[in-house]
Structure 1
Amino acid sequence: MKNGIRAAFAAIETRLLKAASPGIRPGLSRLARLLRRLGNPENDFPAIHVVGTNGKGSTAASLDAIFRCSGRRSALYTSPHLDILGERLRMNGTSVSPTLWEAEEDMLYRALREDPFLRQMPPTFFELLTALCFCVLRSAAPDVVVMEAGMGGRLDATNAAKQVLLSVITPVALDHEEYLGTSLHSIGMEKFAVVRPRTPALYSGEPPELEELFLERCSLAKAEPYVFRRTWHVEHPVVEEEGCSYELFGPGFDGKVLKTSLVGRHQINNSALAAAGAILLGQRIPGITSSSIQAGLKATDWPGRGELLPGSPPILLDGAHNPHGARALASLLRDVWGKTQPKTILFAAMRDKDSKSSLELLRPVADRLICTSVPGMSRCETSAVLVEMAKAAGWTSPVSEEDPLRALAMAEQSASMVVVCGSLYLVGWMRSRLVPERRIDFA
């Protein structure tokens, strides 16, 4: 990647951080006021809204690839980024050039300066970023935008998008409890609140105990409800190092074999959910066929999630930033690599995560644990604290090494495979140093 692009996005990120309110401040009133000042760019593009706790990014990336393989000019907005800010917005599979972001910045900052309320109570960083991306999308005029929610649903900045053609809810689990609630029911309420009136809504059905809540919300909104696990089902799943294959049964599919380049049993579920969502959109978005769905799933690329870097030893990158993700990672390691290959887990996590539960789930699938941290990340838990959590979770002799590169060198000395996980911030930091030639291309 050219240094000029990196510097340009670093400057954009710095300006946004400087203009934003610090931290997370739930509520959409600030964003709504800003968007009015900007001429309501959120009205100007059709969107697919993907929310949930885990699997949002993989599902969104799969839908984006399906639309591109269906001949549509598709945009993809996701978070967080692994390496640089510009990864969050892609157009036709290629990240948008910083010059297109910069062209919209003056209007954004002028709107903040000219509104007395926004000068005193500016939106958060994610809200400003989303508003800026809405402006870029208005100018770029894609056929469809696949939009991944941040941590929330009802009060998430992405919920400001107006032309939502389909709401997709991936598996719901406990995460961000301080903002979304401390029970599955309360978190489900926040996620399902994105359902739009008289619009299709597709829920993965995981966990099953939230299905009735989803259906109640759809009934109140007069939306068209679809529960994936009630309407479609997967048979003959095959999980391999190169990806997964399975047969999908249900509307639009009669045992058709689908293949995804993403790895893990959970990615079968994510890609099948995307395939079902694409079928529901078939009448609204021209060009979607079973063949274009097959091609899109096979072409899906989602770095840092079950991404295997070849070498001696090979390194597996996977965020697995909460217990639900750790369970999926443990399943992947068992399915593909079993117990015969000695594995060392390199783990870092943010302070607000349930790291002890994640470490309990990962303990049976690895031989050694090295706890580390993410340089420059104030939210990151210290490696010493993580080691104490690991001991409480049943790990024998976990090691603390704050420097992630030294931790990686230690891991490589004693493992047939190194698994980097616990935080997408750690995965992004490592990936930018391990595979610079594979960073996302920019237009």
Structure 2
Amino acid sequence: MIHILRLSSYNRLTTTVLPKMQPITHKTTARMEAGDNYYSEAILKLNSLQTNAKNVKMLQANPRANDKSLPEMRTFFERLGHKVEVLNSLNAIHISGSKGKGSTCAFSESILRCNGYRTGLYTSPHLVEVRERVRIDGKPLSKQAFTDRFNECWTMLQANKTDELQMPSYFRFMTLLAFHTFLIEKVDVSIIEVGIGGMYDPTNIIEKPVVCAVSSLGIDHVRMLGDTLPEIALHKAGIFKPHVPAFTTAQPAEALAVLVDYANRQKALLTLAPTLEAYPTAEPIQLGLSGKFQSCNAALALQATNQWRRWRETGSVPEYIPIDSLSTSDPVPLSPETITGLRACVWPGRAMVLERPEQNSTYYLDGAHTVESIQCAAEWMGTVLETDDHRSRRVLVFNCMDRIVSDLLAPLLALHKDTPFDHVLFCPNITSDTARHADSISYNKSESDQTLAPIRNATTWQELCDAAGVEVSADHHVGGKAKVQTFSSIENVKNWVEKVGRDNGAIHTQVFVTGSLHLVGGMLSNLNWETQ
């Protein structure tokens, strides 16, 4: 199924006095307007915690940085007046992986919410506004609620910082804010997506989640996780905990061997999720997220949530048994509520369709940024193109950074050869040349790196086309050649698409945006898509 969118008090470490913290409530219009200003102030403070590009490279080059990661994160959490053990009360489902972990989180949250549980969902990155990362019952925190939680965390952390350990980084702070929020909101279950890796990720201070899951594995974040699949798999398996059941989906053999070995070392019972087709249902299961690749994410979510509900209802946890190879879990009958949860799941920025009837255009957006996910996105795009019953103008918009560009562009070139694009556009993850949305500002990449990325990516595309015997045009679309252009911002790409639509209003324009979640978020921001 494709969703088409139209446009309590706690212990304190110091005498700092904070207002009593209350769960989310509806606010008056006047306070909402004032809250917008306070929200903007909070975002400016949050952005000050970003690690700049120079420091990012220093951290990546420091092999001992990981040793301090979890101890420091525990210290920061205790500075909020909480004990680390209280995180066990969040009844977490902890999910790592290279591809599909966000979608698996979204399916899990939707299933449990539709079964009547109060949910907390923490994911990253955000698309347009940072408050998207923390959701209660499927909805992002309001600006007021985010600001309240932010100020509580900021005040306590500022009051308790030391010379040795000042303020947490951006992602650490957001993780602390999410945990803090879920405790205040008294959620029944928290679904926690790992940021990078797993073993040393800030989310991994949860000592005893209810269940863990690892989605599809591939090569990603090589500077931090290693450049081989076994190295990466070990980081992802790092979320396994003693006697906490874990699930995974079909994996390459070398990755699966690492998962099994680490699960045995941790005494965690690891099993393979059955395919979606194995479930006994009267009719085929419908998914709210489009793309064939979502089936394995949904199947993984079904096993994780089924185990969570079994634990919740009976307290039972499967006994650990050492394994040499993985067995497949038994599919269980699905309740109507669970089937509804799968069908009603919405996860913006992934296989997302946004219609712009006033511009006679449709945007297809997928934040795929690994080789495997780009292949899946290209397959989805190919399905869209095959079902197009009239000749549309086809535009590809792409950006990526810190990846092997040729590997990511190769599946898109294969798609281009089968169903040619008329225009291939490259731009940086810069929302606008004139005005920057505070939530979208990133200091993790230097300005020069960002502005040079489109040129580098366009050059790589040209080289791939030359090697494959595919002709391109640098000036205009003629004779089946795709025009290749670079732009200085996402806004300029959007304006170009709209101009082309005005000049040729009778021809529908299909715009495919992929390569980066930040690129997708910037495009959604320019299309005035509202956080939901």
Instruction: Say yes or no: does 1:164 pair with 2:209.
Output: yes
Instruction: Say yes or no: does 1:421 pair with 2:514.
Output: yes
Q: What is the alpha-carbon root mean square deviation over aligned residues?
A: 2.6
- Alpha-carbon distance in 1 for matches of 2:230, 2:170: 28
Matches within 5 A, 1:47-196: 47-104=92-149, 105-120=151-166, 122-196=167-241
Instruction: Say yes or no: does 1:370 pair with 2:421.
Output: no
* Contact 2:396/2:424, CA 8 A, preserved across alignment: yes
1:117 to 1:43, Cα distance in 2 relative to 1, 3 A: farther
TM-score, reference length from structure 2:
0.73
**Corresponding position of 1:17:** 47
Higher strand residue share: 1
* Contact 1:200/1:224, CA 8 A, preserved across alignment: yes
1:405 to 1:19, Cα distance in 2 relative to 1, 3 A: closer
1:292 to 1:133, Cα distance in 2 relative to 1, 3 A: same
- Alpha-carbon distance in 1 for matches of 2:464, 2:34: 45
Instruction: Say yes or no: does 1:439 pair with 2:485.
Output: no
Instruction: Say yes or no: does 1:343 pair with 2:385.
Output: no
**Corresponding position of 1:211:** 256
Instruction: Say yes or no: does 1:354 pair with 2:404.
Output: yes
* Contact 2:153/2:177, CA 8 A, preserved across alignment: no
Report the Cα offset of residue 299 of structure 1.
0.8
For 2:250, what is the secondary structure of its paired residue?
coil
1:89 to 1:170, Cα distance in 2 relative to 1, 3 A: same
Report the Cα offset of residue 411 of structure 1.
4.4
Larger Rg: 2
Percentage identity across paired residues of the two chains: 24
Could you report, residue by residue, the CA deviation over 1:382-430 in whole angstroms, capped at 9, with x for unpaired residues? Answer: 3212111111222623221223233234446387411011111111111
For 2:110, what is the secondary structure of its paired residue?
helix
Q: Which amino acid aligns with 1:345?
A: L
5+ long unaligned stretches in structure 2? 1-28, 60-65, 315-332, 431-440, 474-483, 501-506
- Alpha-carbon distance in 1 for matches of 2:145, 2:442: 28
1:421 to 1:36, Cα distance in 2 relative to 1, 3 A: same
For 1:317, what is the secondary structure of its paired residue?
strand
1:317 to 1:210, Cα distance in 2 relative to 1, 3 A: same
For 2:365, what is the secondary structure of its paired residue?
strand
Could you report, residue by residue, the CA deviation over 1:167-190 in whole angstroms, capped at 9, with x for unpaired residues? Answer: 110111111100011100100000
- Alpha-carbon distance in 2 for matches of 1:403, 1:20: 21
1:7 to 1:83, Cα distance in 2 relative to 1, 3 A: farther
- Alpha-carbon distance in 1 for matches of 2:72, 2:164: 7
- Alpha-carbon distance in 2 for matches of 1:28, 1:249: 39
- Alpha-carbon distance in 2 for matches of 1:62, 1:339: 26
5+ long unaligned stretches in structure 1? 235-247
For 1:298, what is the secondary structure of its paired residue?
helix
**Corresponding position of 1:237:** none
Report the Cα offset of residue 151 of structure 1.
1.8
Q: Which amino acid aligns with 1:193?
A: G
For 2:400, what is the secondary structure of its paired residue?
coil
Q: Which amino acid aligns with 2:365?
A: L
- Alpha-carbon distance in 2 for matches of 1:170, 1:179: 19
Instruction: Say yes or no: does 1:281 pair with 2:308.
Output: yes
